[in-house]
Structure 1
Amino acid sequence: MSGDDGFKVVRPPWAENAAERRRITPTGLWRVRVFVLMAAVLLAAVASAEEGAAKASDGTHSGKEPLGAETQSVCLSRSHAKHGNDGNSHAKRGNDADGTADREGFQVHGVESPYQAGRTEIRVLRPDRLEEGRRYPVVYVLPVEAGNEARFGNGLVEVKRQDLHNKHRAVFVAPTFSHLPWYADHPTDPEIRQETYLLRIVVPLVEKQYPVQANTDGRLLLGFSKSGWGAMGLLLRHPDVFGRAAAWDAPLMKNKPDQFGMEGIFATQENFEKYQVTKLLQGRAVELQGPNRLVLTGYGNFREHHQQAHDLMMRLGVAHEYRDGPARKHDWHSGWVEEAVGLLLHP
């Protein structure tokens, strides 16, 4: 029997029954081949995705971006965001992936991640007017206390009081931490991984949700006391991720974890030394002899630490901005923030 296209149609024995006959032509065979090819491509794509996920899970980091955006696997809480006596109020119920506005005008993202014990928050302060197509630098305002405690004030509130988000046309971000923040990963407790939380959760969420510069020059760090230590350590450990760091009144010369709640975060001397600022400065000295990427401004409780850190950087040839004073209260609201932000954004 010949088909309409002139080719002979051969029917297998099982197709001789009239009710089961199907016309088998070269056109039909071509369609089958296309279907098989598409199935093979799909299977290859699935295998590639699984391999990529396996590589991502090993925690390696070799590029110039944060350690890996894991916000897709993080639970973004929809519960009310309750704040302490830091000038913040209840955040309205909503989708925290997009942020919910609080009384201070901050966007509050509720987050649950494997790197922190329980719910944490990421607060964001944007310029009042965003220009279409423009990307803004981000200043990470690093807290000195766990949760929403505010014994030493509130950094993001101070930024807003000084209108620095509008003066400098920048986005300011303040994450919270479940434990006292020293910006380190505990060697054994998976729920005290502060460095990893910042790199894998906070930075990727901000860069996904806001029109910001997703590059080294666009990521800046601001802190004092514990978070001044953290700002310095984060840049020195990840100079390909963060562009500049400013520390005010921080215990930069500590050489063992024996004060200020360090023990509960670093746990061991060996782990502490991975984050020790003086050792990191020595190890990064050659890389940091170019433009100023480190800022030391003023003091309250730790003048000797800043003086000695300045002397060490001078001996090592590390470029930095240094201000010896004036003396101020050890607090976010004592007048040092405006100068430090200016030096960060306009070196």
Structure 2
Amino acid sequence: MKYLNKKLSWSLLLVIAIFQTADAAIVDTVQTYSPSMKKNIKAVVITPDNYANATALPVVYLLHGYSGNYADWITKAKGFEKNADLYQMIIVCPDGNNSWYWDSPVDEKYKYETYVSDELVKWIDGKYKTIKDRKGRAITGLSMGGHGGLLLAFRHQDVFGAAGSMSGGVDIRPFPNNWDMAARLGKYAEHPENWEKNTVANMLYLLTPNSLSLIIDCGTEDFFFKVNENLHEQLQLRNIPHDFIARPGGHNWPYWTNAINYQLLFMNTYFKTPLKK
């Protein structure tokens, strides 16, 4: 009987292993094109294993941080791509080129707001089986990409129905000398209007209750924690529903590798929730 139990245990483990490896998300690197910047831009596109049999799938646009690139998520948060199978969604990771996802008012070579919110969305919708509606689109990211995810969703609520941020630079004004932002907006002392207009913290007037499904996550040891906490409080004052997650952690990949699972669960819940009539 002891031997039989051992055989059954190994058989069960084998079945579990086969089940776990049967679905494997498909990861592709593609060349997209930006008409506004007249150049090709790489992106990682993750589709579920059974994509060939799908009809129309929701899409999450997942943005990287400063000094990163389109491949960051797939190389530094290994295993997160399984969420494409788990939730039957497409995940798109575009290259942001340290742009902070703005259309720069001082450098015409940087039009990444136009690229992500318009050109890339149209490119993906033209090449993949997607739900071509805001109810089937969400956007999130880390650090610079957390700022970008909220900024693009706030400004383009006709495109995205849900948005998130992980350790996002949601108020850029306390950091006037950091991360090439002055190269994209001009120096804060010389062009304060560019900074005031292009920080997420000053865009809450664009929101009405439930106009977007929102999730904001930041570690309590993160240098961006205070600006995220302030954003949470301002959203509360305006009665804007949102999820806010604050837990121990810093500005690093171990935190984001964990956080992305909460973000994609949130996005999946949004995709599955019927529209209120």
The answer to whether the superposition gives a TM-score over 0.5 is yes
Residue 111 of structure 1: how far off its partner (Å) = 3.6
Residue equivalent to 1:245: 163
Residue 346 of structure 1: how far off its partner (Å) = 1.1
Amino acid in the other structure paired with 1:205? W
| 1:19-30 map, 5 Å | none
CA–CA separation in structure 1 for the residues paired with 2:125 and 2:69: 23
Amino acid in the other structure paired with 1:340? Q
Q: Does 1:135 align with 2:53?
A: no
Q: Is contact 2:28–2:44 with CA below 8 Å preserved after alignment?
A: yes
Residue equivalent to 2:213: 293
| 1:270-289 map, 5 Å | 270-281=193-204, 283-285=205-207, 287=208, 289=209
Q: Structure 2: which 5+ residue stretches go unaligned?
A: 1-24, 271-277
CA–CA separation in structure 2 for the residues paired with 1:155 and 1:291: 28
Q: Is contact 1:221–1:246 with CA below 8 Å preserved after alignment?
A: yes
Residue 337 of structure 1: how far off its partner (Å) = 1.0
Q: Is contact 2:26–2:49 with CA below 8 Å preserved after alignment?
A: no
Q: Between Structure 1 and Structure 2, which shows a larger proportion of helix residues?
A: 2
Residue equivalent to 2:149: 231
Give deviations 1:174-200, integer Å, cap 9, x for gaps: 1113x3131101114321111011133
CA pair 204-291 structure 1, distance change in 2 beyond 3 A: closer
| 1:299-318 map, 5 Å | 299=219, 300-318=222-240
Q: Does 1:175 align with 2:85?
A: no
CA–CA separation in structure 2 for the residues paired with 1:195 and 1:306: 22
CA–CA separation in structure 1 for the residues paired with 2:76 and 2:131: 23
RMSD: 2.5
Q: Is contact 1:114–1:191 with CA below 8 Å preserved after alignment?
A: no
CA–CA separation in structure 1 for the residues paired with 2:181 and 2:128: 33
Residue equivalent to 2:269: 346
CA–CA separation in structure 1 for the residues paired with 2:173 and 2:216: 19
Amino acid in the other structure paired with 1:231? G
- Where 2:157 maps in the other structure, the secondary structure is coil
Amino acid in the other structure paired with 1:139? V
TM-score by length of 1: 0.62
Higher RCO (CA 8 Å, separation ≥ 6 residues): 2
CA–CA separation in structure 1 for the residues paired with 2:56 and 2:77: 20
**Which residue among 247, 253, 269 is the counterpart of 1:331?**
253
Q: Does 1:261 align with 2:183?
A: no
Q: Is contact 2:168–2:218 with CA below 8 Å preserved after alignment?
A: no
Q: Does 1:106 align with 2:31?
A: no
**Which residue among 121, 129, 132 is the counterpart of 2:42?**
121
CA–CA separation in structure 1 for the residues paired with 2:47 and 2:77: 11
Q: Percent identity?
A: 22
CA pair 118-291 structure 1, distance change in 2 beyond 3 A: closer
TM-score by length of 2: 0.77
Aligned pairs, number: 237
Question: Which of structures 1 and 2 has the bigger CA Rg?
Answer: 1
| 1:58-207 map, 5 Å | 105-116=26-37, 118-130=39-51, 132=53, 134-145=55-66, 148=69, 154-157=72-75, 161-162=79-80, 163-177=82-96, 179-207=97-125
Amino acid in the other structure paired with 1:228? G
Q: Which segments of structure 1 move beyond 6 Å, counting only runs of 4 or more?
A: none
CA pair 342-326 structure 1, distance change in 2 beyond 3 A: farther
Q: Structure 1: which 5+ residue stretches go unaligned?
A: 1-103
Give deviations 1:130-170, integer Å, cap 9, x for gaps: 264521110101121457487xxx22346661311000110
Q: Is contact 1:253–1:308 with CA below 8 Å preserved after alignment?
A: no
Give deviations 1:218-248, integer Å, cap 9, x for gaps: 1111111111011111111111111111101
